[in-house]
Amino acid sequence: MKQLEQRAAAYCRKVAKKLPFSGERKRAYLENLRNDVLGYLSSHPWANADELAEQFGTPEAIAVAFVSEMSYAEINERFRARNRVVHLVLLALGFSLLALVGMIIYLIIRNQQDMDGHFIVTAAKHAAGRWFL
């Protein structure tokens, strides 16, 4: 029985990768599919992945069916939510970059003020042991 569950889970993972959205609806859909696949495998334990695809559909076809069951308003809301996340991430990256550039400029100005126009020249030791100025 464990082998049948593993084969059902493998098929459902392939389907899950093709489904475009996440959430409770997707989890429930995949759980129902997994139960259906387990039921089929219990009566046809010799079925391979091709037979499962023939019986239930390819992962791509299942993804199309999943999306076709959704309303246009729900699909648009999912895309808007995804766009909001992308915009927030880009905004956070922009502020981080701006803070980094500001910090670098501050450090450059601070370093120039600390030097007060003076450079400290020290003797450098050559690899052979000689001192150079």
Q: Give the Å distances, CA to CA, from 90 to 39, 55, 94, 104.
A: 46, 43, 6, 21
Please state whether the predicted TM-score (pTM) of the whole model is above 0.75: no
- The encoded tokens of residue 119 equal 């450079």
Local confidence band at 127 (pLDDT 50, 70, 90 cut-offs): low
Measure the CA–CA gap between 53 and 15, rounded to whole angstroms.
Answer: 10
Buried residues in 40-62 as b, exposed as e (16+ CB within 10 A):
bbeeeeebeeeebbeebeebeeb
d(CA 85, CA 101): 24
10-37 pLDDT, tens digit each: 888 999 998 888 788 889 989 999 999 9
